[in-house]
Amino acid sequence: MSATPRAIEPMAFSEATLARFAREVAKYPPDQKQSAVMACLSIVQQEQGWVSPEAEKGVADYLGMPAMAVHEVTTFYNMYNQRPVGKFKLNVCTNLPCTLRDGGKALQYLERKLGIHMGETTPDGLFTLQQSECLGACADSPVMLVNDRHMCSFMTQDKLDQLIDGLKAAEDQA
């Protein structure tokens, strides 16, 4: 007998979070508040580090849209984390143009250096390693994004060492 799927309760957001949602919704006509879905999901991720099913449901209820429609947004864009990630999320582009120019090698080097496989997080919670789709900088391969914001180009092994060692050193001093 299969288990009954768990009902997902919508997350109850704080007043501060709801105020941030409201500022995004106010940018659109009243009958198009669903247009703020990406911004609201980004706010959730900034505050919580990832977007849980409960948060998706909470955003869906807030915007008056089906939870499945919100889930489709979360799963379409790989900037949204569907599970908790490390403090530094490293996305290495392995699409074909980058793969032809050492993108895959860069990912493998990071796997060895960090001692994890693609998709995993280091035991200290510092680094999560992921593949990414084309970042629009194919000529700069190997390329990667750090925390969905900082683009790093021409990532040779030396530059990967500098990046990882620099992030660890900064963390040690924090």
Footprint on this chain of ligand FES (rule: CB under 6 A): 93, 95, 97-98, 103, 134-138, 141, 143
The residue among 19 and 139 lying less far from ligand FES, judged by its C-beta, is 139
The residue among 34 and 130 lying less far from ligand FES, judged by its C-beta, is 130
The residue among 61 and 111 lying less far from ligand FES, judged by its C-beta, is 111
Query: Is 134 annotated as a binding-site member?
Result: yes
Pairs from 102-106 (Cβ < 8 Å, separation ≥ 24): 102/141, 102/142, 103/141, 103/142, 103/143, 105/142, 106/142, 106/144, 106/155, 106/157, 106/160
The residue among 126 and 137 lying less far from ligand FES, judged by its C-beta, is 137
* Closest distance to ligand FES from the beta carbon of 92 (Å): 9
Give the phi and the psi of residue 173 in degrees, each rounded to 5.
-85, -15
* Closest distance to ligand FES from the beta carbon of 161 (Å): 21
- The answer to whether 92 and 110 have CB atoms below 8 angstroms apart is yes
Residue 96 CB neighbour total at 10 angstroms: 11
* Closest distance to ligand FES from the beta carbon of 102 (Å): 11
Binding-site residue ranges for [2Fe-2S] cluster: 93, 98, 134, 138
